[in-house]
Structures are given as structure tokens and as C-alpha cells.
Amino acid sequence: MHMKGAVFNGPGTPLQIAELSVSGPQPGEVMVRMTASGVCHSDYHVVLGEWAAQTPLVLGHEGAGIVVEVGDGVTDVNVGDSVALSWTPSCRRCLYCVSGRPQLCTSAVQNAYRNVLPDGTTRLSRGGDPVYSYLSVGSFAEYAVVPESGAIKIADDVSPAIAALVGCAVTTGVGAAMNTVPVAPGSTVAVIGAGGVGLSAIMGARLQSPATIIAVDLSEEKLELARRAGATHTINARETDVVGAIKEISGGDGVEYAFEAIGRAGTIEQAYAALAPGGTAVVVGQVPSGVKISIDPMAMSGRELTLTGSNYGSSRPSVDFNRILGLHSSGALDLELLVGDRIPLADINEAFTAMGSGATGRTVIEFP
Ligand SMILES: NC(=O)c1ccc[n+]([C@@H]2O[C@H](COP(=O)([O-])OP(=O)(O)OC[C@H]3O[C@@H](n4cnc5c(N)ncnc54)[C@H](O)[C@@H]3O)[C@@H](O)[C@H]2O)c1
Ligand SMILES: [Zn+2]
Ligand SMILES: [Zn+2]
């Protein structure tokens, strides 16, 4: 079968809309017709050359669609089901999977992070040569073939844009504040970076009723969205000393929880420096390969500070996608506020330009 997909051929070149061949699902795989895909900064890291990736590659890992074909042995989903895609297609057998941490699945790390399916190959090609699918998803294309465990059945009435965002930003951010480090009621929280992931972290934190949520960004538009998401205070990092302002707002000591949702050394260091004694900084943002941070171990011991990381919101996609969607339909989470421009696949390069400017909400590609 043939389809259109946005192909990344290497850093510094725009994605190219190309005609690709897609072969049917092998045993344990499903083919999905995409209905929507969000554009995440983790795609942008690859576009910018900040993370190495084999090419040609169909980017996109925040997707939703309808199952159109299932391979032998697939039991989780049927043709016609609506699904949101997970970029940790867990093996369900390794230590991490069986101990309830499928976001750390060994097989997902080995295969999805190499942009291949669990058998080490890809279902996409162009002129007979393999084309890879980012994180075993590749949602910037009309169809995707994914492992069964990467296609999570959801209700048919969920809007495609919302289902897509649950596939990455929402689960990552909400989960960081609910699963990785559950925020305590009445506590103080800072979220540095109010993009798709940071705004979701604000919403996830708010569900647990902290007293204070301080949002930090460079863009006034993002800070306005942060207030709508539940931030009680906002700081524009362009104008203000971030650590000093967080300490002042939180009464002098700093915050109990600080989430970094950008992926820069300097802002991770800010999150850590903004902690009150006993506080926890959570690295959600992902830095360009090789970037290191500098922290003071003396302060770490003397003030009992914790620095931790969060992958995919420490979530279990097969359960948490639908829990989060339930919180959205009950009104506890307003995921619509994350959605910015809705564009056709052909405009994908403009979405990255917009992301680089930092001022707009999450761009969502909608497929006809
Ligand atoms: N840990 C995970 O599992 C996981 C999952 C998805 C994404 N990520 C990472 O999370 C990060 C955020 O992703 P996103 O899609 O929300 O990105 P985004 O580009 O939508 O948002 C980043 C935000 O940070 C702001 N910003 C940039 N520099 C800043 C600074 N110096 N001070 C304050 N604000 C600043 C921007 O204005 C923007 O609003 C990326 O590094 C991405 O790769 C991690
Ligand atoms: Zn993502
Ligand atoms: Zn596993």
C-alpha cells in the first residue's frame, strides 16, 4: 500500500512529504490509519540534530487513529477500534514491565529508541529502501504499523487531537506530577517551561491541590495558558531572576517540588536551586545529547534535596491513557487548552518554526 508521510532526511533540511510504501502488520502488530498527531519537542530535537537518529525517518510519536488491520495473534484491539499510540511499546515480560514500570521496558528502549519494531525491522520503505518510524510510531504519516502494546484502545468519541496529545505531552506532564513524584496537598510547586509537557504538569499538579503552582516561561502567551491550566503565579524568565522570584513567591525557602519541562542545563539547575530543604526536582525535559548539568552535592546532602527524572510520566499507557481521558471527560482536566493550530500534514515544517518561537500552543496535524 502507498501513503504520504513526512520524511526526515537529516538535520538542517526540512521534512519532505513523500510517497511511501507501507506493508501489512506482522504477527503482534497492528496497522493504524492516523487521525491526528501532535508535534512534540522530542521531534524537534531530532530535526535540530540535537539527537542522532537513523534516516530516512518518519517523525511523530504523539498520535491517534483507527485500527485498519491486525496481524496474527493480536487480541488487544480489533479493526475499527480507536487507539492512542504509545511510544514505549512494552514487552510485558521484562523486569520493568512485570514490576509495573513499562515506561522503562528493556525491549522498548532497545527497539523503539532505534526507531524499529520489536523484530528489528520497519514496515515502511521508499524505492525499496527502509524508512524508519520514530519511536516505533511515526505518526507524521497517513498510516503507522505499531506493536500491539503500542496501540491503546480508547473510546470512539474522544476527539482525535485530544487522543493524540494523550500519546505524549499529556501523559508525560500529568504523570510526572501524579506518578513520578505525587504532589502533596497544600504544597508548593514550580513548573519551568509551559509548553505541551509543562502545561500538562501544571494540570496534573493541580489535581492534587497544592497551595501554590508557579509557572515559568519566556512567552506571555504560554504564561496565560499556564494560568488557565491552574498556575497561581507566573514568572517571565525574560524579565525576572527565576530562582529569586520562586523563592520570594514561596515564602523564602523555595518550593517543595520543581518540574523542569524544557530540556536545558540552565533551567534544570534553576529547578534544583529553587528547592526548599527536603524538596524534589524532577527532570522531565530532555537535553541535547551530551549536555551535562552542575549541582552542588554539599547542598544536596545538607538540605536533603532530591533530583530525579521522569520518563513518559512514569505511566502505564495501557491504563493511564484511559484514566487521563476519564479525567478530561469529567472536567477535572481541560486538555483542549493545550491545542494550538490545527494543520494538514503538508504544513509540518511550519509547526517546527512555530515551536522554535515558543509562543504558540501545541500544533496538531489533522488527517482528513
Ligand atoms: N521525559 C519525557 O518522557 C518526555 C516526553 C516528552 C517530551 N519531553 C521533553 O520535554 C521537553 C518539553 O517538551 P514540549 O513538547 O513541552 O516543548 P515545547 O517546545 O512545547 O515547550 C517548551 C517551553 O519552554 C519554554 N522555554 C524555552 N526556554 C526557556 C527558558 N530558558 N526559560 C523558561 N522557559 C523556556 C518555551 O517558551 C516553551 O513554552 C522537551 O525537551 C521534550 O523533548 C520529555
Ligand atoms: Zn513527545
Ligand atoms: Zn518490558
List pLDDT tens digits, range 156-189: 999 999 999 999 999 999 999 999 999 999 999 9
* Residue partners of 31: CB distance under 8 A and separation at least 6: 22, 24, 25, 67, 68, 69, 70, 143, 144, 145
Annotation marks residue 42 as catalytic: yes
Structural domain spans, the chain: 2-167+334-366, 171-312
Ligand 1 mutation target, pool 47, 200, 262, most atoms within 8 A of CB: 262
Annotation marks residue 45 as catalytic: yes
CATH code linked to domain 2-167+334-366? 3.90.180.10
pLDDT band at 109 (very low <50, low <70, confident <90, very high): confident
Highest CATH level, class, for 171-312: alpha beta
User: What confidence score (pLDDT) does residue 365 get?
Assistant: 98
pLDDT band at 33 (very low <50, low <70, confident <90, very high): very high
Closest among 170, 180, 182, 176 to 364, alpha carbons compared: 170
User: What confidence score (pLDDT) does residue 360 get?
Assistant: 87
Annotation marks residue 97 as catalytic: no
Any ligand 1 atom below 6 A from CB of 212 = no
User: What confidence score (pLDDT) does residue 12 get?
Assistant: 87
Ligand in nearest proximity to the CA of 104: 3
- Counting residues of the chain whose pLDDT is more than 90, the rounded percentage is 98
- Which ligand 1 atom sits nearest the alpha carbon of residue 44? 43
pLDDT band at 218 (very low <50, low <70, confident <90, very high): very high
Supply 353's cell numbers. Answer: 518554526
